[in-house]
Amino acid sequence: MKSKEFRARLTSKNQLTLPAGVSTLLHVGPGDSVRFEVTKDGVVVAPVPVRERLAPLVGCRRRGAGKTRREIDAEVRELRGPRDE
């Protein structure tokens, strides 16, 4: 890929607006996260994968071992009530 240069200005609150060309190349948009990795050669900017962003949420609502399919089916049948045939 041919090298491209983009420039941005840091605000008084140390905020940076990602130039449109950079967000297009990284395939990121509003609400997406990006990672800044500082190396001895410079700074690498990369999108944070969705899987990594959601990792802290996996299993956060789970309590106990969960229910088997049969237990869930029995509860649903109980909630629906008797079948009219």
Burial 57-81 (b: 16+ CB within 10 A, else e): eeeeeeeeeeeeeeeeeeeeeeeee
Domain span at 68: 20-80
* 76 assigned to some structural domain: yes
* 30 assigned to some structural domain: yes
Q: In 1-85, which residue ranges form alpha helices assigned H by DSSP? A: 20-26, 50-54, 69-80
Total number of domains constituting the chain: 1
The model carries a pTM of 0.53
Q: How many CA atoms lie less than 13 Å away from 69 in the CB half-sphere?
A: 0
> Tokens 């449109």 belong to which residue?
20
Which pLDDT tens digit goes with each residue over 14-73?
A: 999 999 999 999 989 888 889 999 999 999 999 988 777 666 677 666 666 778 889 888
Q: Output helix, strand, coil percentages for the chain, rounded to the nearest 5.
A: 30, 15, 50
